[in-house]
Copies of this chain bind each other. A is one copy, B any other.
Protein backbone atom coordinates (compact mmCIF):
# COMPACT_ATOMS: atom_id res chain seq x y z
CA UNK A 1 0.00 0.00 0.00
CA UNK A 2 1.35 3.44 -0.82
CA UNK A 3 1.57 6.18 1.80
CA UNK A 4 -1.57 8.03 0.70
CA UNK A 5 -3.63 4.82 0.58
CA UNK A 6 -2.46 4.06 4.07
CA UNK A 7 -3.52 7.49 5.29
CA UNK A 8 -6.89 7.18 3.53
CA UNK A 9 -7.51 3.82 5.22
CA UNK A 10 -6.67 5.32 8.58
CA UNK A 11 -9.06 8.24 8.07
CA UNK A 12 -11.80 5.94 6.74
CA UNK A 13 -11.47 3.82 9.86
CA UNK A 14 -11.78 6.91 12.08
CA UNK A 15 -14.94 7.93 10.22
CA UNK A 16 -16.23 4.36 10.52
CA UNK A 17 -15.55 4.35 14.25
CA UNK A 18 -17.31 7.73 14.67
CA UNK A 19 -14.20 9.67 15.69
CA UNK A 20 -15.14 12.07 12.92
CA UNK A 21 -18.91 12.35 12.91
CA UNK A 22 -21.27 12.81 10.03
CA UNK A 23 -21.13 16.46 8.84
CA UNK A 24 -18.02 17.25 10.92
CA UNK A 25 -15.13 19.18 9.40
CA UNK A 26 -11.96 17.15 8.87
CA UNK A 27 -8.51 18.45 9.88
CA UNK A 28 -6.84 20.78 7.38
CA UNK A 29 -4.41 19.37 4.85
CA UNK A 30 -1.55 21.22 6.52
CA UNK A 31 -2.27 19.90 10.03
CA UNK A 32 -2.65 16.31 8.85
CA UNK A 33 0.60 16.65 6.93
CA UNK A 34 2.50 17.62 10.03
CA UNK A 35 0.62 15.18 12.27
CA UNK A 36 1.58 12.20 10.09
CA UNK A 37 4.90 13.49 8.79
CA UNK A 38 3.83 13.17 5.15
CA UNK A 39 3.84 15.67 2.31
CA UNK A 40 0.95 18.02 1.52
CA UNK A 41 0.31 16.22 -1.76
CA UNK A 42 0.05 12.85 0.02
CA UNK A 43 -2.71 14.24 2.24
CA UNK A 44 -4.42 15.71 -0.81
CA UNK A 45 -4.29 12.38 -2.61
CA UNK A 46 -5.73 10.63 0.44
CA UNK A 47 -8.57 13.14 0.62
CA UNK A 48 -9.28 12.68 -3.09
CA UNK A 49 -9.51 8.94 -2.58
CA UNK A 50 -11.97 9.34 0.29
CA UNK A 51 -13.94 11.76 -1.83
CA UNK A 52 -14.10 9.14 -4.61
CA UNK A 53 -15.44 6.70 -2.09
CA UNK A 54 -18.09 9.26 -1.08
CA UNK A 55 -16.90 9.21 2.51
CA UNK A 56 -16.05 12.94 2.53
CA UNK A 57 -17.01 15.94 0.42
CA UNK A 58 -15.16 19.23 -0.15
CA UNK A 59 -16.79 22.61 0.52
CA UNK A 60 -15.24 25.60 -1.22
CA UNK A 61 -12.94 27.62 1.02
CA UNK A 62 -13.89 25.52 4.10
CA UNK A 63 -12.08 22.20 3.64
CA UNK A 64 -13.37 18.63 3.74
CA UNK A 65 -16.44 17.40 5.65
CA UNK A 66 -17.64 13.89 6.53
CA UNK A 67 -20.49 13.07 4.14
CA UNK A 68 -23.99 12.71 5.54
CA UNK A 69 -24.68 9.06 5.04
CA UNK A 70 -26.97 6.29 6.02
CA UNK A 71 -25.87 4.91 9.36
CA UNK A 72 -23.65 1.82 9.36
CA UNK A 73 -26.03 -1.15 9.33
CA UNK A 74 -25.95 -3.22 12.53
CA UNK A 75 -24.29 -6.62 12.64
CA UNK A 76 -26.52 -9.69 12.52
CA UNK A 77 -27.69 -10.84 15.98
CA UNK A 78 -26.97 -14.26 17.50
CA UNK A 79 -28.51 -16.92 15.25
CA UNK A 80 -31.28 -19.11 16.64
CA UNK A 81 -31.35 -22.49 14.91
CA UNK A 82 -33.50 -25.41 16.08
CA UNK A 83 -31.91 -27.00 19.14
CA UNK A 84 -32.09 -30.66 18.22
CA UNK A 85 -30.32 -33.04 15.83
CA UNK A 86 -31.59 -32.58 12.28
CA UNK A 87 -31.10 -34.35 8.99
CA UNK A 88 -29.27 -32.34 6.36
CA UNK A 89 -31.05 -31.34 3.15
CA UNK A 90 -30.11 -28.77 0.48
CA UNK A 91 -28.10 -30.96 -1.91
CA UNK A 92 -30.11 -29.70 -4.88
CA UNK A 93 -29.32 -26.12 -3.93
CA UNK A 94 -25.62 -26.93 -3.56
CA UNK A 95 -25.55 -28.63 -6.96
CA UNK A 96 -27.23 -25.62 -8.54
CA UNK A 97 -24.64 -23.31 -7.03
CA UNK A 98 -21.86 -25.57 -8.29
CA UNK A 99 -23.19 -25.50 -11.83
CA UNK A 100 -23.48 -21.70 -11.70
CA UNK A 101 -19.75 -21.50 -11.13
CA UNK A 102 -19.16 -22.84 -14.63
CA UNK A 103 -20.75 -19.81 -16.26
CA UNK A 104 -17.66 -17.67 -16.51
CA UNK A 105 -19.35 -14.45 -17.60
CA UNK A 106 -21.38 -14.22 -14.38
CA UNK A 107 -20.43 -11.82 -11.58
CA UNK A 108 -19.51 -14.42 -8.96
CA UNK A 109 -20.96 -12.71 -5.88
CA UNK A 110 -21.95 -16.08 -4.45
CA UNK A 111 -18.68 -17.90 -5.03
CA UNK A 112 -15.89 -18.87 -2.64
CA UNK A 113 -13.18 -17.89 -5.14
CA UNK A 114 -10.17 -15.89 -3.98
CA UNK A 115 -8.52 -13.24 -6.17
CA UNK A 116 -5.89 -15.10 -8.20
CA UNK A 117 -4.95 -12.17 -10.42
CA UNK A 118 -2.34 -10.46 -8.24
CA UNK A 119 1.29 -10.19 -9.42
CA UNK A 120 2.51 -11.95 -6.27
CA UNK A 121 1.07 -15.13 -7.83
CA UNK A 122 3.52 -14.96 -10.76
CA UNK A 123 6.30 -16.89 -8.99
CA UNK A 124 3.95 -19.87 -8.78
CA UNK A 125 3.93 -20.07 -12.57
CA UNK A 126 7.71 -19.71 -12.53
CA UNK A 127 8.00 -22.66 -10.14
CA UNK A 128 5.79 -24.64 -12.47
CA UNK A 129 8.00 -23.69 -15.41
CA UNK A 130 11.03 -24.86 -13.47
CA UNK A 131 9.34 -28.22 -12.80
CA UNK A 132 8.68 -28.58 -16.54
CA UNK A 133 12.30 -27.77 -17.20
CA UNK A 134 13.96 -30.12 -14.68
CA UNK A 135 11.68 -33.08 -15.47
CA UNK A 136 12.25 -34.85 -12.18
CA UNK A 137 10.98 -38.40 -12.86
CA UNK A 138 10.07 -38.83 -9.18
CA UNK A 139 7.15 -36.47 -9.73
CA UNK A 140 5.68 -38.96 -12.21
CA UNK A 141 5.55 -41.92 -9.82
CA UNK A 142 3.11 -42.65 -7.01
CA UNK A 143 3.60 -40.22 -4.17
CA UNK A 144 3.77 -41.30 -0.54
CA UNK A 145 0.31 -41.72 0.99
CA UNK A 146 1.24 -38.88 3.38
CA UNK A 147 2.12 -36.47 0.57
CA UNK A 148 5.46 -34.96 -0.42
CA UNK A 149 7.85 -34.52 2.45
CA UNK A 150 9.18 -31.21 1.05
CA UNK A 151 5.69 -29.73 1.24
CA UNK A 152 4.88 -31.19 4.65
CA UNK A 153 8.04 -29.61 6.02
CA UNK A 154 7.03 -26.19 4.69
CA UNK A 155 3.53 -26.57 6.16
CA UNK A 156 4.88 -27.54 9.56
CA UNK A 157 6.92 -24.32 9.47
CA UNK A 158 3.93 -22.21 8.41
CA UNK A 159 1.88 -23.69 11.23
CA UNK A 160 4.24 -22.20 13.79
CA UNK A 161 2.59 -18.83 12.99
CA UNK A 162 -0.68 -20.12 14.43
CA UNK A 163 1.03 -21.43 17.55
CA UNK A 164 1.15 -25.08 16.40
CA UNK A 165 4.26 -27.17 16.81
CA UNK A 166 3.72 -30.21 14.58
CA UNK A 167 6.11 -32.55 12.89
CA UNK A 168 5.93 -33.13 9.15
CA UNK A 169 4.93 -36.74 9.92
CA UNK A 170 1.81 -35.47 11.71
CA UNK A 171 0.59 -33.94 8.44
CA UNK A 172 -1.30 -35.64 5.61
CA UNK A 173 -1.54 -33.83 2.27
CA UNK A 174 -5.02 -33.86 0.72
CA UNK A 175 -6.86 -32.70 -2.39
CA UNK A 176 -7.80 -29.34 -0.91
CA UNK A 177 -9.38 -28.62 2.46
CA UNK A 178 -12.43 -30.36 1.05
CA UNK A 179 -10.80 -33.79 1.19
CA UNK A 180 -9.25 -32.90 4.56
CA UNK A 181 -12.71 -32.24 6.03
CA UNK A 182 -14.09 -35.34 4.40
CA UNK A 183 -11.32 -37.43 5.95
CA UNK A 184 -11.73 -35.78 9.35
CA UNK A 185 -15.44 -36.56 9.46
CA UNK A 186 -14.95 -40.18 8.46
CA UNK A 187 -12.04 -40.60 10.88
CA UNK A 188 -14.18 -39.41 13.79
CA UNK A 189 -17.79 -40.33 13.01
CA UNK A 190 -19.85 -43.44 12.38
CA UNK A 191 -23.21 -43.42 10.59
CA UNK A 192 -25.95 -42.41 13.03
CA UNK A 193 -23.65 -40.13 15.05
CA UNK A 194 -24.45 -36.54 15.94
CA UNK A 195 -22.05 -33.62 15.55
CA UNK A 196 -22.40 -29.97 16.55
CA UNK A 197 -21.81 -27.22 13.98
CA UNK A 198 -21.88 -23.45 13.87
CA UNK A 199 -25.04 -22.02 12.39
CA UNK A 200 -24.78 -20.90 9.60
CA UNK A 201 -22.00 -23.22 8.47
CA UNK A 202 -20.18 -24.26 5.26
CA UNK A 203 -22.47 -26.26 2.98
CA UNK A 204 -19.68 -28.56 1.78
CA UNK A 205 -19.03 -29.89 5.27
CA UNK A 206 -22.73 -30.42 5.83
CA UNK A 207 -23.14 -32.40 2.62
CA UNK A 208 -20.29 -34.64 3.77
CA UNK A 209 -22.04 -35.20 7.09
CA UNK A 210 -25.23 -36.03 5.25
CA UNK A 211 -23.47 -38.56 3.04
CA UNK A 212 -21.99 -40.37 6.05
CA UNK A 213 -25.40 -40.56 7.73
CA UNK A 214 -24.48 -38.08 10.46
CA UNK A 215 -27.01 -35.68 11.97
CA UNK A 216 -26.16 -32.18 13.14
CA UNK A 217 -27.15 -29.95 16.01
CA UNK A 218 -26.80 -26.38 14.78
CA UNK A 219 -25.49 -24.19 17.59
CA UNK A 220 -26.40 -20.47 17.90
CA UNK A 221 -23.49 -18.42 16.59
CA UNK A 222 -22.64 -14.76 17.04
CA UNK A 223 -21.38 -12.81 14.04
CA UNK A 224 -18.64 -11.18 16.14
CA UNK A 225 -17.55 -13.77 18.71
CA UNK A 226 -18.50 -17.06 17.08
CA UNK A 227 -20.26 -20.16 18.35
CA UNK A 228 -22.09 -19.72 21.65
CA UNK A 229 -20.03 -21.68 24.16
CA UNK A 230 -23.01 -21.74 26.50
CA UNK A 231 -25.36 -23.19 23.88
CA UNK A 232 -22.69 -25.72 22.88
CA UNK A 233 -22.38 -26.84 26.50
CA UNK A 234 -26.15 -27.27 26.79
CA UNK A 235 -26.20 -29.31 23.59
CA UNK A 236 -23.33 -31.50 24.81
CA UNK A 237 -25.25 -32.16 28.02
CA UNK A 238 -28.39 -33.04 26.14
CA UNK A 239 -27.18 -35.13 23.17
CA UNK A 240 -24.51 -37.81 22.62
CA UNK A 241 -22.46 -35.52 20.40
CA UNK A 242 -19.29 -37.04 18.89
CA UNK A 243 -17.52 -33.93 17.62
CA UNK A 244 -17.87 -30.23 16.99
CA UNK A 245 -16.92 -28.74 13.63
CA UNK A 246 -15.77 -25.12 13.67
CA UNK A 247 -14.35 -22.43 11.39
CA UNK A 248 -13.10 -20.35 14.31
CA UNK A 249 -10.70 -18.05 12.44
CA UNK A 250 -12.18 -15.89 9.65
CA UNK A 251 -15.40 -17.83 9.70
CA UNK A 252 -17.24 -18.83 6.56
CA UNK A 253 -19.77 -17.18 6.23
CA UNK A 254 -19.84 -14.81 9.23
CA UNK A 255 -16.25 -13.53 9.04
CA UNK A 256 -15.59 -13.47 12.80
CA UNK A 257 -12.40 -14.49 14.57
CA UNK A 258 -13.28 -16.24 17.82
CA UNK A 259 -11.53 -14.50 20.72
CA UNK A 260 -8.73 -16.61 22.18
CA UNK A 261 -10.58 -17.08 25.46
CA UNK A 262 -13.54 -18.56 23.62
CA UNK A 263 -11.32 -20.88 21.62
CA UNK A 264 -9.90 -22.07 24.94
CA UNK A 265 -13.38 -22.48 26.39
CA UNK A 266 -14.42 -24.68 23.46
CA UNK A 267 -11.29 -26.80 23.85
CA UNK A 268 -12.00 -27.25 27.58
CA UNK A 269 -15.58 -28.29 26.78
CA UNK A 270 -14.27 -30.81 24.28
CA UNK A 271 -12.00 -32.25 26.94
CA UNK A 272 -14.78 -32.36 29.54
CA UNK A 273 -17.19 -34.17 27.24
CA UNK A 274 -14.39 -36.13 25.52
CA UNK A 275 -15.34 -35.14 21.97
CA UNK A 276 -13.21 -34.34 18.93
CA UNK A 277 -12.86 -30.88 17.39
CA UNK A 278 -12.68 -30.59 13.61
CA UNK A 279 -11.11 -27.18 13.02
CA UNK A 280 -11.47 -25.78 9.51
CA UNK A 281 -8.70 -23.17 9.21
CA UNK A 282 -8.90 -22.66 5.44
CA UNK A 283 -9.40 -18.88 5.78
CA UNK A 284 -7.15 -18.57 8.87
CA UNK A 285 -4.15 -17.07 7.09
CA UNK A 286 -6.27 -14.30 5.53
CA UNK A 287 -6.96 -12.67 8.94
CA UNK A 288 -6.50 -8.90 8.67
CA UNK A 289 -4.60 -8.80 11.97
CA UNK A 290 -0.92 -9.67 12.07
CA UNK A 291 0.47 -11.97 13.38
CA UNK A 292 -2.40 -14.28 12.50
CA UNK A 293 -4.65 -15.58 15.30
CA UNK A 294 -3.83 -18.88 17.01
CA UNK A 295 -5.73 -22.03 16.15
CA UNK A 296 -7.58 -24.29 18.58
CA UNK A 297 -5.12 -26.93 17.38
CA UNK A 298 -2.36 -24.96 19.13
CA UNK A 299 -4.05 -25.80 22.46
CA UNK A 300 -4.31 -29.48 21.62
CA UNK A 301 -2.48 -31.45 24.28
CA UNK A 302 -4.27 -34.76 23.77
CA UNK A 303 -4.63 -35.06 20.00
CA UNK A 304 -8.38 -34.47 19.89
CA UNK A 305 -8.24 -31.61 17.35
CA UNK A 306 -8.20 -32.44 13.62
CA UNK A 307 -6.96 -29.34 11.83
CA UNK A 308 -8.01 -29.03 8.19
CA UNK A 309 -6.67 -26.42 5.81
CA UNK A 310 -5.45 -25.73 2.28
CA UNK A 311 -3.94 -23.20 -0.09
CA UNK A 312 -7.30 -22.77 -1.85
CA UNK A 313 -8.15 -19.43 -0.25
CA UNK A 314 -4.61 -18.08 0.02
CA UNK A 315 -3.17 -19.20 -3.33
CA UNK A 316 -5.49 -21.00 -5.72
CA UNK A 317 -8.33 -23.49 -5.42
CA UNK A 318 -7.45 -25.04 -8.80
CA UNK A 319 -4.25 -26.51 -7.29
CA UNK A 320 -6.20 -28.75 -4.87
CA UNK A 321 -3.45 -28.78 -2.28
CA UNK A 322 -4.67 -29.04 1.28
CA UNK A 323 -3.72 -30.84 4.45
CA UNK A 324 -5.01 -32.40 7.63
CA UNK A 325 -3.28 -32.72 11.00
CA UNK A 326 -5.43 -35.46 12.46
CA UNK A 327 -3.85 -35.83 15.91
CA UNK A 328 -4.75 -39.13 17.56
CA UNK A 329 -6.89 -40.05 14.53
CA UNK A 330 -3.85 -40.40 12.24
CA UNK A 331 -4.30 -44.13 11.59
CA UNK A 332 -7.95 -43.81 10.64
CA UNK A 333 -7.18 -40.71 8.58
CA UNK A 334 -4.51 -42.61 6.65
CA UNK A 335 -6.90 -45.44 5.83
CA UNK A 336 -9.60 -42.95 4.83
CA UNK A 337 -7.15 -41.10 2.60
CA UNK A 338 -6.14 -44.39 1.00
CA UNK A 339 -9.64 -45.58 0.22
CA UNK A 340 -10.72 -42.19 -1.12
CA UNK A 341 -8.01 -41.11 -3.55
CA UNK A 342 -4.82 -43.00 -2.75
CA UNK A 343 -1.99 -40.51 -3.01
CA UNK A 344 -2.18 -36.84 -4.06
CA UNK A 345 -0.98 -35.24 -7.32
CA UNK A 346 2.70 -34.38 -7.13
CA UNK A 347 3.14 -31.44 -9.49
CA UNK A 348 0.95 -28.91 -7.69
CA UNK A 349 2.39 -30.09 -4.35
CA UNK A 350 5.93 -29.53 -5.49
CA UNK A 351 5.16 -26.13 -7.05
CA UNK A 352 3.60 -24.92 -3.78
CA UNK A 353 6.48 -26.30 -1.70
CA UNK A 354 8.99 -24.40 -3.84
CA UNK A 355 6.83 -21.26 -3.81
CA UNK A 356 6.91 -21.24 -0.01
CA UNK A 357 10.56 -22.27 0.27
CA UNK A 358 11.64 -19.40 -1.95
CA UNK A 359 9.82 -16.85 0.21
CA UNK A 360 7.00 -16.00 -2.19
CA UNK A 361 4.20 -17.20 0.05
CA UNK A 362 4.56 -14.70 2.87
CA UNK A 363 4.92 -11.82 0.41
CA UNK A 364 1.77 -12.94 -1.38
CA UNK A 365 -0.15 -13.38 1.85
CA UNK A 366 0.80 -9.91 3.08
CA UNK A 367 -0.53 -8.41 -0.13
CA UNK A 368 -3.76 -10.44 -0.13
CA UNK A 369 -4.53 -9.50 3.48
CA UNK A 370 -4.24 -5.83 2.56
CA UNK A 371 -6.25 -6.22 -0.63
CA UNK A 372 -9.12 -8.07 1.00
CA UNK A 373 -9.16 -5.57 3.85
CA UNK A 374 -9.34 -2.68 1.40
CA UNK A 375 -11.96 -4.49 -0.71
CA UNK A 376 -14.04 -4.92 2.43
CA UNK A 377 -13.99 -1.19 2.99
CA UNK A 378 -15.10 -0.44 -0.58
CA UNK A 379 -17.67 -3.17 -0.47
CA UNK A 380 -19.20 -2.11 2.82
CA UNK A 381 -19.36 1.42 1.47
CA UNK A 382 -21.34 0.26 -1.61
CA UNK A 383 -23.54 -2.08 0.38
CA UNK A 384 -24.45 0.85 2.62
CA UNK A 385 -25.05 3.00 -0.44
CA UNK A 386 -27.13 0.59 -2.53
CA UNK A 387 -28.73 -1.82 -0.08
CA UNK A 388 -31.96 -0.81 1.72
CA UNK A 389 -32.23 0.15 5.39
CA UNK A 390 -33.34 -2.54 7.79
CA UNK A 391 -30.61 -5.04 6.95
CA UNK A 392 -27.78 -6.35 9.09
CA UNK A 393 -24.28 -6.75 7.65
CA UNK A 394 -21.38 -8.72 9.11
CA UNK A 395 -17.98 -7.08 9.78
CA UNK A 396 -15.51 -9.72 8.60
CA UNK A 397 -12.16 -9.78 10.39
CA UNK A 398 -10.52 -11.76 7.62
CA UNK A 399 -11.23 -13.64 4.40
CA UNK A 400 -13.51 -12.24 1.73
CA UNK A 401 -17.02 -13.39 2.62
CA UNK A 402 -19.78 -11.07 3.89
CA UNK A 403 -23.11 -12.07 5.43
CA UNK A 404 -26.19 -9.92 4.89
CA UNK A 405 -29.35 -10.51 6.88
CA UNK A 406 -32.82 -9.17 6.10
CA UNK A 407 -35.94 -9.35 8.28
CA UNK A 408 -36.96 -12.92 8.95
CA UNK A 409 -40.17 -12.89 6.94
CA UNK A 410 -38.31 -12.26 3.69
CA UNK A 411 -37.46 -15.08 1.29
CA UNK A 412 -34.38 -14.40 -0.81
CA UNK A 413 -34.24 -17.76 -2.58
CA UNK A 414 -36.43 -16.59 -5.50
CA UNK A 415 -34.53 -13.29 -5.59
CA UNK A 416 -31.26 -15.19 -6.02
CA UNK A 417 -32.79 -17.13 -8.93
CA UNK A 418 -33.95 -13.90 -10.56
CA UNK A 419 -30.51 -12.31 -10.07
CA UNK A 420 -28.80 -15.31 -11.63
CA UNK A 421 -30.85 -14.68 -14.74
CA UNK A 422 -29.45 -11.16 -14.77
CA UNK A 423 -25.91 -12.55 -14.73
CA UNK A 424 -25.27 -12.26 -11.00
CA UNK A 425 -24.30 -15.47 -9.26
CA UNK A 426 -25.81 -15.27 -5.80
CA UNK A 427 -26.16 -17.63 -2.86
CA UNK A 428 -29.04 -17.49 -0.39
CA UNK A 429 -28.21 -18.24 3.24
CA UNK A 430 -30.36 -21.38 3.25
CA UNK A 431 -27.48 -23.19 1.54
CA UNK A 432 -25.54 -22.80 4.78
CA UNK A 433 -28.09 -24.36 7.09
CA UNK A 434 -28.81 -28.06 7.51
CA UNK A 435 -32.54 -27.46 7.64
CA UNK A 436 -32.74 -24.67 5.07
CA UNK A 437 -32.98 -21.74 7.52
CA UNK A 438 -31.54 -18.31 6.59
CA UNK A 439 -33.63 -17.88 3.47
CA UNK A 440 -33.57 -14.19 4.50
CA UNK A 441 -29.76 -14.04 4.23
CA UNK A 442 -27.14 -13.66 1.52
CA UNK A 443 -23.49 -14.69 1.37
CA UNK A 444 -21.42 -12.20 -0.66
CA UNK A 445 -17.88 -12.60 -2.00
CA UNK A 446 -15.74 -9.47 -2.00
CA UNK A 447 -12.47 -11.02 -3.17
CA UNK A 448 -12.66 -9.57 -6.65
CA UNK A 449 -11.15 -6.20 -7.56
CA UNK A 450 -13.84 -3.51 -7.61
CA UNK A 451 -14.91 -2.63 -11.14
CA UNK A 452 -17.93 -1.31 -13.02
CA UNK A 453 -19.52 -4.77 -13.43
CA UNK A 454 -19.24 -5.49 -9.72
CA UNK A 455 -20.62 -2.06 -8.87
CA UNK A 456 -23.55 -2.59 -11.26
CA UNK A 457 -24.19 -6.04 -9.77
CA UNK A 458 -24.27 -4.61 -6.26
CA UNK A 459 -26.64 -1.86 -7.36
CA UNK A 460 -28.97 -4.36 -9.05
CA UNK A 461 -28.87 -6.60 -5.97
CA UNK A 462 -29.60 -3.63 -3.71
CA UNK A 463 -32.56 -2.62 -5.83
CA UNK A 464 -33.95 -6.15 -5.79
CA UNK A 465 -33.60 -6.28 -2.01
CA UNK A 466 -35.23 -2.84 -1.65
CA UNK A 467 -38.10 -3.99 -3.80
CA UNK A 468 -38.72 -7.18 -1.85
CA UNK A 469 -38.51 -5.24 1.42
CA UNK A 470 -41.13 -2.73 0.24
CA UNK A 471 -43.52 -5.48 -0.78
CA UNK A 472 -43.05 -7.52 2.37
Measuring CB to CB, which residues of chain A are less than 8 angstroms from any residue of chain B?
91, 94-95, 98-99, 101-102, 104, 111-113, 116-117, 121-122, 125-126, 128-129, 131-133, 135, 137-145, 174-176, 178-179, 182, 191, 204, 207-208, 210-211, 316-321, 334-336, 338-348
Contact = CB atoms under 8 A, between A and B. Distances in A.
Contact of A317 (B141, B317, B348): B141
B338 A98 contact: yes
Contact of A335 (B112, B135, B211, B334): B211
Nearest to A334: B95
A101 B142 contact: yes
A318 B204 contact: no
Contacts of A125: 132-133, 135
Nearest to A191: B191
Given A125-B133, A208-B339, A320-B341, 8 more contacts: A101-B144, A116-B137, A138-B318, A182-B340, A320-B344, A320-B345, A321-B345, A345-B348
A182 B341 contact: yes
A interface majority secondary structure: helix
A338 B94 contact: yes
B132 A126 contact: yes
Contacts of A98: 144-145, 338
Contact of A347 (B94, B318, B336): B318
B320 A138 contact: no
- Which has the most chain B C-beta neighbours within 10 Å: A117, A319, A338? A338
Given A91-B335, A125-B132, A340-B341, A316 B179 contact: no
9 contacts: A95-B338, A102-B144, A111-B142, A129-B129, A175-B344, A191-B191, A207-B338, A208-B339, A320-B344
A175 B121 CA distance: 25
A318 B104 contact: no
- Which has the most chain B C-beta neighbours within 10 Å: A122, A132, A191? A132
Given A318-B346, A341-B320, A347-B128, A336 B211 contact: yes
B339 A207 contact: yes
A344 B126 CA distance: 22
A341 B94 contact: no
A347 B348 contact: yes
B140 A318 contact: yes
A112 B342 CA distance: 13
A36 to B, nearest CB: 37
A113 B135 contact: no
A152 to B, nearest CB: 12
A128 B139 CA distance: 13
B102 A316 contact: no
A415 to B, nearest CB: 24
A148 to B, nearest CB: 10
A401 to B, nearest CB: 15
Contact of A348 (B113, B207, B348): B348
A395 to B, nearest CB: 26
Contacts of A121: 140
Contacts of A340: 178-179, 182, 340-341
B204 A342 contact: yes
Contacts of A137: 116-117
A144 B340 CA distance: 19
A113 B139 CA distance: 12
Contacts of A104: 138
Contacts of A176: 341-342
Nearest to A205: B339
A182 B336 CA distance: 11
Contacts of A211: 335-336, 339
B132 A318 contact: no
A394 to B, nearest CB: 23
Contacts of A122: 135
B141 A207 contact: no
Nearest to A209: B339
A125 B139 CA distance: 11
A101 B175 CA distance: 20
Nearest to A351: B347
Nearest to A212: B339
A191 B212 CA distance: 11
